[in-house]
């Protein structure tokens, strides 16, 4: 195979003082932090769709990212060549995982049968490359949004024939994910939503979506796939109202329809599109015991689209890692870089630089989070705010022993509560002192 990455050495840890832009300054895969290898805290994955299928197309302009291993025809041969290049890239980056949609890795054929045959050929190669390199599949998924047949949705399409097509496609995508030893399977609700209620029976569409997910759960069990099934919330884009709006909406949906096996894959840019912080969405999922995996990226505060940028902000990454450490880790999920190069970043070197920068930002976040938790002051301050529930009437409220009459009597006896500062600036300063 031609060496498309000639001149780019495998990326190594060189420490915070390194001036080599293609080195890790914080990410040291084997370093033990909080009792675990750094690599095992993150289980970083490269997103096939952005890094190997992203072309830089936007609503105003054509392809800018032209790769020497791609030819203009979307052929199986090209898909096989691209897969070899992808494994070479991931290996040089020193990352352990990748993620894909079925249609990222193999071209869609003229029929479902042909699409499945194409997929099988590429999966044969992926299986071999995984064995050769030790690189593993974090998750697979099906693209149920790009083909025009899905323009009115997949599982929520008003046409049962389209629902069936989506089911057949997910069936195959689950089979190949299982065959490749995928640790998880993701459902992002591509076009599961609506633009106007005038033509939409929302209740019926949501019932159909739940039926679809129950079928997927049944099929996963039938083939012995015991990886986690993950729903990825997103509030809008492409539809105006996506049904999986945010973590809280998805949790209510899962509970309402008895979908007990599903967890959440939380993405930063989707959180911010929903008007939440990344930390809010992660904490919501984690508090429910359902934070399964993370799509690591960020948006642009000034634009308001899903710009899928590489996250470089240690203030954000340290918050993320505090939540992940507190819940005891993210495995069998991981951190998938659902992030793309800017369309002006046309060099192959940019592919490496983008991942290196964000991997380092998360590694730095882990080190900061570990220090904050080990120090204990933040936890102590927060616990102190709730100390009134640790004993007396507060404890009776929590245990269910107190009712409105008891509480009225307490207030009649004790009068006004005293003023308690929230001390937000002190909390913020404390966290900043660990950066
Ligand atoms: C879209 C998005 C998807 C999912 C996988 O916004 O995040 O790439 O992660 O379908
Ligand atoms: Co995503």
- The tens digit of pLDDT for each residue in 67-83 reads 999 998 899 999 999 99
* pLDDT for the residue 79: 98
Instruction: Write the pLDDT tens digit of every residue in 406-434.
Output: 999 999 999 999 999 999 999 999 999 99
Lowest mean pLDDT among 103-117, 214-228, 299-313: 299-313
* Encoded tokens for 33: 């932090």
Ligand nearest to the CA of 139: 1
Hey, whose CA ends up nearest to atom 8 of ligand 1?
A: 338
Q: Say if ligand 1 is within 6 A of residue 267 CB.
A: yes
The residue whose CA has the least distance to atom 7 of ligand 1 is 338
| Burial (0-12, 13-18, 19+ Cβ within 10 Å), 21 | exposed
Instruction: Calculate the alpha carbon distances from 159 to 155, 190, 240 in Å.
Output: 9, 16, 20
Closest ligand to C-alpha of residue 186 is 1
Binned at pLDDT 50, 70 and 90, residue 65 comes out as very high
Nearest residue by C-alpha to atom 3 in ligand 1: 188
192 Cβ closer than 6 Å to some ligand 1 atom: no
The answer on pLDDT for 222 being more than 90 is: yes
pLDDT reading at 301 higher than 90: no
pLDDT band at 93; cut points 50, 70, 90: very high
pLDDT of residue 72: 87
Ligand 1 pocket member 186 (CB < 6 A): yes
Answer yes or no: is pLDDT of 64 > 90. Answer: yes
Start-to-end CA span in the chain (Å)? 44
Q: What pLDDT score does 416 carry?
A: 98
Contact by Cβ (8 Å): 406, 396: yes
* 388: DSSP letter: G
Give the position, in ligand 1's atom list, of the atom nearest the Cα of 101: 10
Q: What is the mean pLDDT of residues 37-46?
A: 98
Ligand that lies nearest to the alpha carbon of residue 296, given by its number in the listed order: 2
Q: Are 223 and 331 in contact (CB under 8 A)?
A: no
**What is the 143 CA–ligand 1 centroid distance (Å)?**
9
Percent of the chain with pLDDT over 90: 98
- Give the Å distance between the CA of 295 and the centre of ligand 2: 5
Beta-ladder partners of 223: none
Q: Could you tell me the two tokens for 24?
A: 């890790």
Tokens of 82: 């691209």
268 C-alpha vs ligand 2 centroid, how far in Å?
9
Ligand 1 and 104: CB distance under 6 A: no
Catalytic residues: 101
Mean local confidence (pLDDT), 205-229: 98
Q: At residue 114, does pLDDT exceed 90?
A: yes
Strand partners, 335: 44, 294
pLDDT given at position 1:
82
Q: How confident is residue 304, by pLDDT bands cut at 50, 70 and 90? A: confident
- Determine if ligand 1 sits within 6 Å of the CB of residue 308: no
Question: Ligand 1 pocket, 338 CB below 6 A?
Answer: yes
Q: What is the pLDDT of residue 319?
A: 98
């Amino acid at each position: 195979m031609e060496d498309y990455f000639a001149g780019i050495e495998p990326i190594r840890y060189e420490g915070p003082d390194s001036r080599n832009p293609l080195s890790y300054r914080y990410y040291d895969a084997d370093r033990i932090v909080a009792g675990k290898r750094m690599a095992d805290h993150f289980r970083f994955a490269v997103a096939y769709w952005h890094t190997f299928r992203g072309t830089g197309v936007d609503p105003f302009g054509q392809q800018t990212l032209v790769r020497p291993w791609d030819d203009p025809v979307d052929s199986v041969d090209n898909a096989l060549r691209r897969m070899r290049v992808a494994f070479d890239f991931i290996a040089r980056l020193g990352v352990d995982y990748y993620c894909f949609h079925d249609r990222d890795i193999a071209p869609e054929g003229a029929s479902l049968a042909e699409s499945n045959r194409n997929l099988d050929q590429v999966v044969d190669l992926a299986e071999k490359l995984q064995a050769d390199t030790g690189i593993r599949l974090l998750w697979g998924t099906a693209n149920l949004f790009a083909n025009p047949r899905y323009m009115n949705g997949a599982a929520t399409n008003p046409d049962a024939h389209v629902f069936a097509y989506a089911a057949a496609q997910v069936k195959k995508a689950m089979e190949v994910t299982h065959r490749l030893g995928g640790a998880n399977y993701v459902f992002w609700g591509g076009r599961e939503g609506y633009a106007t209620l005038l033509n939409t029976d929302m209740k019926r569409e949501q019932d159909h979506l739940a039926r679809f997910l129950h079928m997927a759960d049944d099929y996963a069990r039938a083939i012995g796939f015991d990886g986690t099934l993950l729903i990825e919330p997103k509030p809008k884009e492409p539809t105006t109202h996506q049904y999986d709006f945010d973590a809280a909406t998805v949790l209510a949906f899962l509970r309402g329809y008895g979908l007990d096996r599903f967890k959440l894959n939380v993405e930063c840019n989707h959180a911010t599109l929903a008007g939440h912080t990344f930390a809010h969405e992660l904490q919501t999922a984690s508090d429910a015991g359902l934070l399964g995996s993370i799509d690591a990226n960020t948006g642009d505060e000034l634009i308001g689209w899903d710009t899928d940028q590489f996250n470089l902000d240690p203030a954000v990454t340290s918050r993320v890692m505090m939540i992940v450490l507190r819940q005891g880790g993210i495995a069998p999920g991981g951190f998938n870089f659902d992030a793309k190069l800017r369309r002006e970043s046309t060099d192959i070197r940019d592919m490496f630089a983008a991942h290196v920068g964000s991997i380092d930002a998360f590694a730095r976040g882990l080190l900061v989070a570990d220090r904050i938790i080990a120090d204990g002051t933040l936890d102590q301050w927060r616990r102190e705010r709730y100390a009134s529930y640790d004993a007396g009437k507060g404890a009776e409220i929590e245990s269910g022993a107190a009712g409105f009459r008891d509480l009225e009597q307490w207030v009649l006896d004790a009068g006004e509560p005293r003023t308690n500062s929230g001390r937000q600036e002190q909390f913020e300063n404390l966290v900043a002192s660990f950066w």
